[in-house]
C-alpha cells in the first residue's frame, strides 16, 4: 500500500493492481482506461468557518459570495 496525496496519476496504471480514488466525474480514470468496480462511499465538500466570521457582516457577505461562486461552478460542471 502506498498512500498518496494530491494528483497521483504517476502511480497508474503500471504500478498498482488496485486503487482507491476520490473522484467526481471519473474522467481521469476513463482517460487511463480504468473503470470503477465498486463505490465505497460518497463524500460532500463543506465550507467551514468560525462563528465570528459567519456572523460578521463583511465576512458574511464574502462567505456568501464564495458559496455562490462554488455552487455555480458545480452546476456548470453538471451541465
| Structure confidence at residue 77 (pLDDT) | 78
pLDDT-derived band at 22, boundaries 50, 70, 90: confident
pLDDT one-digit tens code per residue, 25-58: 888 888 878 888 999 998 887 888 888 887 888 8
> Does 36 share its domain with 55?
no
Question: What is the residue range of 74's domain?
Answer: 44-79
The pTM of the full predicted model, rounded to 2 decimals, is 0.46
> Does 28 share its domain with 59?
no
> Does 35 share its domain with 48?
no
pLDDT one-digit tens code per residue, 2-19: 777 776 665 555 667 777
Q: How many Å apart are CA 35 and CA 78, to the nearest integer?
A: 20
> Does 25 share its domain with 10?
yes
- How many domains is the chain built from? 2
> Does 31 share its domain with 56?
no
> Does 73 share its domain with 50?
yes
Q: Identify the residue whose cell numbers are 476513463.
A: 30
Label residue 53 left, alpha or beta by phi (over 0 means left) and psi (-120 to 50 means alpha): alpha
Amino acid at each position: 500500500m502506498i498512500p498518496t496525496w494530491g494528483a497521483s496519476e504517476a502511480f497508474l496504471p503500471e504500478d498498482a493492481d488496485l486503487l482507491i480514488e476520490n473522484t467526481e466525474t471519473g474522467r481521469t480514470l476513463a482517460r487511463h482506461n480504468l473503470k470503477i468496480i465498486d463505490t465505497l462511499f460518497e463524500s460532500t465538500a463543506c465550507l467551514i468557518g468560525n462563528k465570528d466570521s459567519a456572523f460578521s457582516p463583511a465576512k458574511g457577505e464574502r462567505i456568501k459570495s464564495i458559496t455562490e461562486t462554488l455552487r455555480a461552478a458545480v452546476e456548470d460542471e453538471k451541465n
